[in-house]
């Protein structure tokens, strides 16, 4: 079966008045979607059909998930073919999961406004040429879920059932949508990390973090009353002050969240190490950047107009080097653009710093123009570019 044939069959058989029992034709088609292996999907994607549980959905839909990004339709990002309530059209959309958020924001208008605001942020991170071609705003019909799906759409393309494009066009559109999903997921990971690694709230771009945005509170932890740590042996004190590496409670949007600060230990250890190699580390007044480096000569102060290295630190959690690398790339690219290029500043050299070996992703980062350095049991190792800079042996 082709994607085209599947979409036409859902439109032809689905009846929201027929309920959700297994014998209902439209529901049976949707339930069987997950078993299909003949849709010609790009590698790494999986599909599932949704027609409601106890009550039939007003807008049936087929989810398309990148297994490396997310497989849970209740949250995060995925692709979906969502049918209008009158079944005359279907929209391929880059979607935000709405279920978990709807449980946190009960009132309809703030909920929809939150989805639209974040959809606009994510859309801004997409390539402009593609974003322009995928700027359709879905109109799926009335009802709580159809309206939420429309508000949650980041990028979309609509197909009329009576004039369904050929399979080749649908397949090409799906490949483009998959690329958009990956770009949006990388941007979202970077924004979350910019607020804090374990921050679960919807993130915002650095320049948008004002006292009036997202509840009016900053995600920066308070340092009032904190003891000042002594510099580690060999660390030049100028410009670098280790942040608190203990777990702390941050008050964000009127609720508490425990946040891990393991990556601050990583930064502190790296700063102690790199300062011995004639680089001056700095993490003061550079937020949201983790760390910047400037080259110095035999203990002398760095040249003010000399080149700068931008360092993004990531803790590899549960062996997921892929996730850490994806976040690092998105964040480094975002900061390089918004905090340097857009401000007409010299573009920095980029370094992704990891808590452990990232394996096959090291040459991938090199290909992306990003040097990688990681902590080992004996010290530090890195990619050829990092070695050429004298940062690792």
- List Cβ<8 Å contacts ≥24 apart for 243-246: 243/267, 243/268, 243/283
CA angle at residue 267 from 261 to 271, to 5 degrees?
150
Range of lowest pLDDT (146-155, 159-168, 334-343, 361-370): 334-343
CATH architecture of 236-241+255-388: 3-Layer(aba) Sandwich (3.40)
The Cβ of residue 268 has, within 10 Å, a number of other Cβ atoms equal to 23
Rounded to 5 degrees, what are φ and ψ at 273?
A: -75, -50
pLDDT tens-place string over residues 56-92: 999 999 999 999 999 999 989 999 999 999 999 999 9
Q: Indicate if the pLDDT at residue 376 is higher than 50.
A: yes
Domain borders along the chain are: 3-191, 236-241+255-388
pLDDT tens-place string over residues 95-147: 999 999 989 888 888 899 999 988 888 888 887 767 677 888 888 988 899 99
User: Taking the model in full, what pTM does it have?
Assistant: 0.53
Residue 357 pLDDT level (bands cut at 50, 70, 90): very high
CB of 270 closer than 8 Å to CB of 280: no
3-state helix, strand, coil in the chain (%, to 5): 40, 20, 40
CATH of 3-191, one of 3.40.50, 3.30.70, 1.10.357, 3.30.920: 3.30.920
> Of 253, 15, 229, which Cα lies nearest the Cα of 114?
253
Q: Indicate if the pLDDT at residue 200 is higher than 70.
A: no
Q: Residue by residue, what is the 3-state secondary structure of 58-90?
A: EEEEEEEEECCCCCCCCCCEEEEEEECCCCCEE
Confidence (pLDDT) at 305: 65
H or E element that contains 353: strand 349-354
Q: Indicate if the pLDDT at residue 301 is higher than 80.
A: no
Bond into 93 cis (ω within 30): no
Q: Indicate if the pLDDT at residue 342 is higher than 50.
A: yes
CB of 47 closer than 8 Å to CB of 39: yes
Mean pLDDT, rounded, for 260-282? 88
Tokens 């390089």 identify what position?
336
The number of angstroms, rounded, from the C-alpha of 349 to the middle of its chain's C-alpha atoms is 22
Cα separation, 200 vs 356, in Å, equals: 24
Cα separation, 146 vs 86, in Å, equals: 11
Highest mean predicted confidence (pLDDT) among 160-169, 205-214, 329-338:
160-169
The Cβ of residue 392 has, within 10 Å, a number of other Cβ atoms equal to 22
Range of lowest pLDDT (20-24, 34-38, 41-45, 253-257): 253-257
Confidence (pLDDT) at 128: 73
Confidence (pLDDT) at 124: 82
CB of 339 closer than 8 Å to CB of 326: no
CB of 21 closer than 8 Å to CB of 51: no
């Amino acid at each position: 079966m082709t994607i085209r044939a599947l979409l036409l069959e859902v439109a032809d058989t689905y009846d929201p008045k027929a309920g959700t029992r297994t014998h209902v034709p439209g529901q049976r088609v949707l339930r069987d979607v997950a078993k299909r292996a003949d849709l010609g999907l790009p590698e790494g994607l999986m599909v599932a059909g949704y027609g409601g549980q106890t009550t039939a959905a007003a807008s049936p839909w087929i989810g398309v998930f990148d297994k490396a990004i997310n497989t849970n339709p209740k949250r995060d990002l995925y692709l979906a073919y969502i049918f209008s309530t009158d079944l005359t059209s279907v929209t391929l959309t880059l979607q935000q999961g709405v279920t978990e958020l709807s449980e946190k924001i009960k009132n309809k208008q703030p909920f929809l406004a939150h989805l639209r605001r974040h959809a606009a942020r994510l859309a801004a991170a997409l390539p402009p040429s593609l974003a322009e071609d995928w700027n359709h705003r879905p109109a799926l019909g009335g009802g709580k879920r159809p309206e939420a799906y429309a508000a949650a759409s980041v990028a979309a393309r609509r197909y009329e059932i009576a004039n369904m494009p050929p399979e080749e066009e649908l397949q090409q559109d799906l490949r483009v949508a998959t690329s958009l999903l990956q770009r949006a997921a990388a941007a979202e990971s970077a924004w979350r990390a910019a607020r804090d690694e374990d921050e679960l709230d919807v993130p915002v771009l650095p320049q948008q973090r004002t006292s009036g945005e997202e509840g009016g509170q900053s995600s920066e932890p308070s340092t009032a009353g904190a003891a000042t740590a002594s510099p580690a042996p060999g660390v030049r004190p100028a410009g670098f002050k280790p942040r608190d590496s203990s777990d702390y409670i941050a008050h964000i949007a009127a609720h508490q969240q425990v946040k891990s600060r393991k990556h601050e230990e990583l930064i502190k250890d790296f700063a102690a190490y790199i300062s011995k190699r004639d680089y001056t580390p700095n993490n003061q007044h550079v937020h949201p950047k983790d760390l910047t480096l400037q080259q110095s000569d035999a203990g002398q102060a760095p040249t003010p107009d000399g080149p700068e290295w931008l360092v993004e630190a990531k803790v590899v959690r549960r062996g997921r080097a892929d996730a850490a690398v994806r976040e690092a790339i998105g964040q480094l690219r975002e900061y390089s653009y918004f905090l340097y290029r857009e401000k007409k500043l010299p573009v920095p050299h980029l370094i992704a710093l990891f808590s452990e070996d990232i394996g096959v992703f090291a040459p991938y980062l090199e290909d992306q123009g990003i040097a990688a350095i990681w902590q080992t049991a004996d010290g530090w190792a890195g990619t050829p570019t990092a070695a050429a800079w004298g940062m690792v042996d």
